[in-house]
């Protein structure tokens, strides 16, 4: 077969194709639904680039003229699903505060589509300086490129890759169906204990998706989450339950749960806030450099026509036209949202212009910041939650300043509208941050495999729009099926099944505190103090050791998140660490000259299987949600698939534990077994 030079300027192979775009649309919808579910449940989303690339290679290999560039376009488009869904970190707050009774389809769609598209446009000027003329590592972009290259050259790699994802997906889907659908096995257990007046718990969650996510986040983040959980349930909850009075007739476990939800989570919020601000402070120079490079790159746009194929972005004329359409869309969306408050015409337009201006100007700032952060530390580790917290603070202060001049806070309705508008403005900022965080990572992948940048930018714009169409219906579906903590769609629903939406809860709490002055700032300020201590510990570890650190943001999330969601994350991270150590030791004994390559090859199978675990449980969660909605709308049960009653609970707990242990064993065996096969 003739070898194709994909780096050539005169390349004539399919790249941005109709079949690729249709496949990308399908993957985008599926992974967007998965990410929305996972993000609302635990506050984490997964990167869809690598799974999308593997699926694309498996399907497009049926066409003789398919190639690595076409597969890259599919993963570029589908990667929007793993990032645009970050808007769920803020927009459910509109339901939690009672402003919306359901997700407005068009307003949610336009917020996501316009914000995501701005994220693409704002990072276009950064591409040449930050990818072509930069040594920024872009770790996930490099990994995706390697998988695309291997998959395009080895049929076996493609087949093993799709088998890994399908195996993980099938296992986690079956476990999820038995737990959340049939109720035959438990999804988590709590072992409560008391010492005098102190109460706490030893939690254990059995989520296969979170086990897979833990495998991917790495040991540093896993240990940091464990530290946060120990602080929360080993220090703060026991102490507060010993000094605070409980309600008459309240059980010890119910009292401890209330203390954690109402007090300790505010400590976590303070820790997250200061950790996010610190992370951004450490990146002030990269942020300024990124913005300076962006402005300089714009001035060179007239030379595009003479550039190599691999160095051509969307033309300035096209970029300006898309930007104009986005601004019109934002003006219409903000007007539609603000007009519902029935304010005076002048006040309405003042808020509309202010909202769009804050979204665009802060959006450009976060695009430069996130693009640089993605290059430095990767997309997954980039603090989108920190961007969201800063966004809600700035948006709230802007609304507070304008609202005070027009007497908006004279009525309770006006105060409620102010909080809602701050959340709405922040939703655009988070959408911009999420996509800009992902865009340069994708462009790095394309640069390594020989893609045409402007075609990738078109694919990402398409991914933003398709993903935006999927987000609102999935949000409504999950809300009707499970509800959110503090916002249940129907009376009598099981609040234990409610989706926690932790970031949306946090940002709504912050906005309410800024406007109403009812927030218990003492716990938040104490959390800030905890965060400062953790920051110093992290700095000391990095200064005195080469490989140890304690990410402050992860510690804050460990304090803030429900513990049954954290344990499988920690277990997955620890499992990943020890498995990789074992593989490295074995590789040294078997083939010292190929140690790193062997470990990386094996770890890739683990990454793909872990991705399958996440996708399988997430998709099953969406399917079960559909069934629940149909059942409830027909006057049926909230648990239409349940095969057993609540009396089966103790047995379900033991079965859940056994299944979880078996799943861990299978996960480890599969990685080790695949590795041994590669040596045989």
pLDDT digits (tens, 9 = 90+) for 574-625: 999 999 899 888 888 877 777 777 777 777 788 778 878 877 887 788 788 7
Please work out, in degrees rounded to the nearest 5, the angle formed at the alpha carbon of residue 188 by the alpha carbons of 81 and 275. Answer: 55
Mean pLDDT lowest for which of 6-20, 85-99, 519-533? 6-20
Burial class (CB in 10 A: 0-12, 13-18, 19+), 76: buried
Both tokens of residue 428? 């655009």
* pLDDT tops 80 at residue 180: yes
Average pLDDT, the chain: 81
CB distance 107 to 340 below 8 Å: no
pLDDT beyond 70 at 143? no
Residues 6+ apart with CB under 8 A from 412: none
Read off the tokens for 316. 């300035």
Nearest to residue 228, comparing CAs of 542, 520, 567, 523?
567
Confidence band for 307, pLDDT divided at 50, 70 and 90 = low
Phi-psi region of 59 (alpha: psi -120 to 50; beta: other; left: phi over 0): alpha
pLDDT for res 379: 54
**Alpha-carbon span 87 to 196, nearest angstrom:** 44
Read off the pTM: 0.74
Average pLDDT over residues 445-449: 86
Span 202-217, average pLDDT: 86
Q: Categorize the per-residue pLDDT at 1 as very low, low, confident or very high, splitting at 50, 70 and 90.
A: very low
């Amino acid at each position: 077969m003739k070898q194709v030079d994909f780096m050539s300027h005169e390349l004539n192979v399919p790249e941005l194709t109709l079949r690729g775009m249709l496949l990308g649309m399908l993957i985008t919808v599926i992974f967007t639904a998965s990410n929305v579910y996972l993000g609302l449940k635990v506050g984490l989303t997964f990167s869809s680039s690598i799974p999308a690339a593997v699926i694309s290679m498996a399907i497009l290999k049926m066409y003789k003229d398919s190639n690595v560039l076409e597969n890259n376009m599919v993963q570029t488009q589908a990667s929007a699903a793993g990032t645009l869904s970050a808007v769920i970190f803020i927009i459910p707050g509109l339901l939690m505060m009672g402003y919306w009774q359901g997700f407005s389809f068009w307003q949610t769609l336009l917020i996501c589509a316009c914000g995501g598209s701005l994220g693409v446009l704002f990072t276009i000027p950064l591409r040449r300086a930050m990818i072509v003329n930069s040594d920024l590592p872009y770790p996930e972009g490099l990994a995706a490129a390697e998988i695309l290259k291997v998959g395009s050259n080895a049929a076996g790699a493609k087949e093993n890759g799709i088998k890994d994802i399908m195996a993980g997906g099938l296992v986690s889907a079956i476990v999820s169906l038995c737990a959340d659908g049939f109720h035959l096995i438990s999804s988590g257990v709590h072992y409560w204990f008391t010492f005098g007046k102190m109460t706490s718990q030893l939690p254990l969650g059995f989520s296969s998706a979170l086990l897979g996510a833990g495998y991917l986040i790495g040991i540093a983040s896993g240990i940091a989450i464990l530290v946060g959980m120990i602080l929360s349930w080993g220090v703060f909850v026991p102490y507060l339950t010993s000094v605070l009075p409980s309600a008459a007739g309240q059980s010890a476990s119910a009292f401890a749960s209330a203390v954690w939800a109402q007090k300790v989570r505010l400590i976590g919020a303070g820790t997250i806030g200061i950790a996010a601000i610190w992370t951004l402070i450490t990146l002030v120079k990269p942020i300024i450099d990124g913005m300076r490079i962006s402005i300089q790159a714009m001035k060179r746009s007239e030379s595009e026509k003479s550039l190599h194929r691999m160095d051509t972005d969307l033309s300035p004329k096209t970029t300006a036209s898309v930007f104009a359409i986005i601004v019109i869309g934002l003006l219409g969306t903000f007007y539609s949202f603000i007009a519902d408050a029935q304010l005076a015409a002048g006040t309405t337009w003042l808020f509309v212009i202010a909202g769009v201006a804050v979204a665009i100007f802060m959006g450009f700032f976060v695009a430069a910041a996130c693009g640089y952060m993605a290059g430095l530390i990767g997309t997954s580790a980039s603090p989108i939650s920190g961007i969201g917290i800063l966004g809600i603070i700035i948006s709230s202060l802007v609304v507070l300043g304008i609202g005070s001049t027009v007497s908006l806070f004279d009525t309770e309705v006006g105060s409620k509208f102010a909080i809602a508008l701050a959340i709405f403005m922040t939703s655009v900022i988070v959408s911009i941050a999420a996509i800009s965080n992902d865009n340069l990572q994708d462009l790095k992948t394309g640069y390594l495999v020989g893609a045409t940048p402007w075609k990738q930018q078109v694919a990402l714009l398409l991914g933003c729009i398709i993903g935006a169409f999927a987000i609102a219906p999935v949000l409504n579906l999950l809300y009707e099926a499970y509800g959110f903590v503090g916002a249940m769609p129907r009376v009598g629903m099981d609040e234990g099944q409610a989706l926690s939406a932790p970031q949306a809860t946090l940002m709504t709490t912050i906005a309410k505190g800024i406007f109403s002055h009812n927030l218990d700032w003492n716990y938040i300020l104490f959390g800030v103090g905890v965060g400062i201590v953790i920051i110093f510990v992290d700095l000391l570890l990095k200064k005195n050791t080469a490989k140890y650190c304690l990410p402050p943001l992860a510690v804050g999330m460990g304090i803030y998140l429900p513990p049954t969601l954290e344990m499988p994350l920690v277990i997955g991270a620890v499992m990943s660490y020890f498995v990789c150590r074992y593989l490295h030791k074995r590789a040294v004994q078997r083939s010292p000259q190929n140690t790193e390559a062997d470990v990386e090859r094996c770890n890739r199978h683990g990454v793909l299987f872990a991705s399958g675990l996440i996708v399988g449980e997430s998709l099953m969660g969406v399917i079960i949600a559909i069934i629940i909605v149909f059942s409830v709308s027909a006057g049926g049960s909230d648990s239409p698939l349940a095969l057993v009653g609540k009396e089966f609970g103790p047995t379900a707990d033991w079965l859940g534990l056994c299944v979880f242990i078996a799943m861990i064993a299978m996960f480890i065996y599969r990685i080790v077994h695949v590795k041994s096969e590669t040596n045989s």
